[in-house]
């Protein structure tokens, strides 16, 4: 039986955010984990909270707890797509509190490898303004200096690689114990990660954190991950993030098969499987919208329009929801289906 996750409360006396039982959270904020992983939503140090991020506090707590409670030092922590560095700081500060810290850092001088392109895109200036991040440049320019400054408290543990991961991510031959993925913005990046990092996961130990899994765009993330479902167990959901435990070695032949391309019907099937991962109707709705995008890519606008009508009938409460997150997703997919404008 899965349980609902608690909310985060900061305690000034200790500087820790800790668990406090409460009823179900709003849609997209529910937290559920496989019982064996129920303690992943642990406390978090204040130093790991303060870095501005597009992640929620709940997601930060999970990353911090992964590094503090579950990391064994058997492999590296790959932190791919760090933006301003919140995930890296969560991993680093959690690692410092890990009972195996000395052993891990003796084996790995810098156990965390962090990747960030560090180029401002058109949506970032509004985020910087909302979060009072000063000194940022214009779209197209670098924010590398800000990343380096933000992760400075844990820099001694981090191999920071700035630039395109297709170039900076080459050459990792060591085992990988935690693989955090917020960098899969293009299909070729997803395939690169799976080709280079999935074979290095440790069965029974390694955890893949797919930060955009329950995001309504990027349908290839869902189909790519689900293609490897026989090698993973789904262990939980938090906000837009899904977590998977690697259970079997991933052979190169499976990656070869994915790279050769999957039939359209198989992609549909995998998207449907992904939709059923969540216990939250709002997340399933977002995954259904993601499947509409996939159908548009596979079969065109008319088929996507038909499937969107089906989705609206299946999720009436979510279609009528005043929650901006759900309203914006519906408006965007309607533009995709009828205007071709994204």
pLDDT digits 0-9 by tens, 189-207:
999 999 999 999 999 999 9
CA angle 55, 59, 62 (to 5 degrees): 150
Provide the mean pLDDT of the chain. 91
Q: What does the pLDDT read at residue 75? A: 98
Residue 270, domain member (yes or no): no
Which of 259, 290, 316 is the endpoint of a domain? 259
Q: What is the DSSP letter of 74?
A: S
N residues, the chain = 342
Lowest mean pLDDT among 110-119, 137-146, 289-298, 302-311: 137-146
Q: Which domain holds residue 286?
A: 281-338
Whether 81 and 186 share a structural domain:
yes
List pLDDT tens digits, range 47-106: 888 899 999 999 999 999 999 999 999 999 999 999 999 999 999 999 999 999 999 999
Let me know whether 47 and 108 are in one domain. yes
Global pTM reads 0.91
CA distance 291 to 219: 7
CA-only gyration radius of the chain, Å: 20
Number of domain units in the chain: 2
Q: Are 222 and 314 part of one and the same domain?
A: no
Residues 126 and 210 in one domain: yes
From CA 199, how far away is CA 194, in angstroms rounded? 8
CATH of the domain at 101: 3.40.50.150
Residues 98 and 198 in one domain: yes
Q: Are residues 121 and 64 in the same domain?
A: yes
Q: Write the pLDDT tens digit of every residue in 207-232.
A: 999 999 999 999 999 999 999 999 99
CA separation for the pair 160, 55 (Å, rounded): 20
């Amino acid at each position: 039986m899965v349980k609902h996750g608690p909310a985060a409360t900061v305690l000034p006396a200790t500087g820790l955010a800790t668990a406090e039982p409460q009823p179900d959270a709003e849609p997209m904020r529910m937290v559920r984990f496989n019982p064996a992983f129920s303690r992943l939503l642990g406390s978090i140090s204040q130093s790991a909270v303060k870095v501005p991020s597009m992640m929620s506090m709940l997601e930060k707590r999970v990353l911090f707890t992964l590094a503090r409670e579950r990391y064994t030092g058997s492999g590296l922590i790959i932190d791919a797509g760090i933006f301003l560095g919140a995930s890296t700081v969560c991993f680093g500060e959690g690692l410092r509190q890990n009972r195996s810290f000395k052993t891990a850092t003796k084996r790995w001088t810098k156990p965390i490898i962090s990747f960030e392109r560090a180029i401002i895109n058109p949506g970032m200036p509004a985020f910087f303004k909302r979060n009072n991040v000063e000194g940022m440049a214009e779209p197209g320019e670098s924010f590398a200096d800000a990343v380096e400054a933000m992760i400075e408290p844990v820099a001694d543990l981090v191999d920071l690689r700035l630039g395109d991961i297709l170039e900076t991510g080459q050459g990792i031959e060591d085992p990988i114990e935690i693989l955090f993925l917020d960098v899969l913005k293009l299909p070729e990046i997803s395939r690169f990660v799976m080709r280079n990092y999935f074979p290095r996961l440790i069965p029974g130990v390694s955890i893949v954190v797919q930060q955009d899994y329950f995001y309504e765009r990027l349908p290839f993330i869902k189909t790519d991950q689900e293609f490897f479902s026989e090698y993973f167990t789904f262990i939980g959901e938090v906000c837009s993030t899904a977590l998977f435990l690697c259970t079997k070695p991933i052979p190169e032949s499976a990656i070869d098969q994915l790279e050769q391309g999957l039939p359209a019907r198989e992609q549909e099937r995998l998207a449907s499987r992904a939709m059923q991962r969540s216990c939250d109707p709002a997340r399933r709705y977002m995954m259904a919208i993601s499947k509409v995008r996939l159908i548009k890519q596979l079969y065109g606008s008319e088929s996507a329009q038909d499937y969107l009508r089906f989705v609206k009938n299946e999720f009436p409460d979510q279609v009528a929801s005043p929650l901006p997150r759900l309203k914006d997703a519906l408006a965007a997919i309607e533009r995709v289906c009828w205007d071709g404008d994204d």
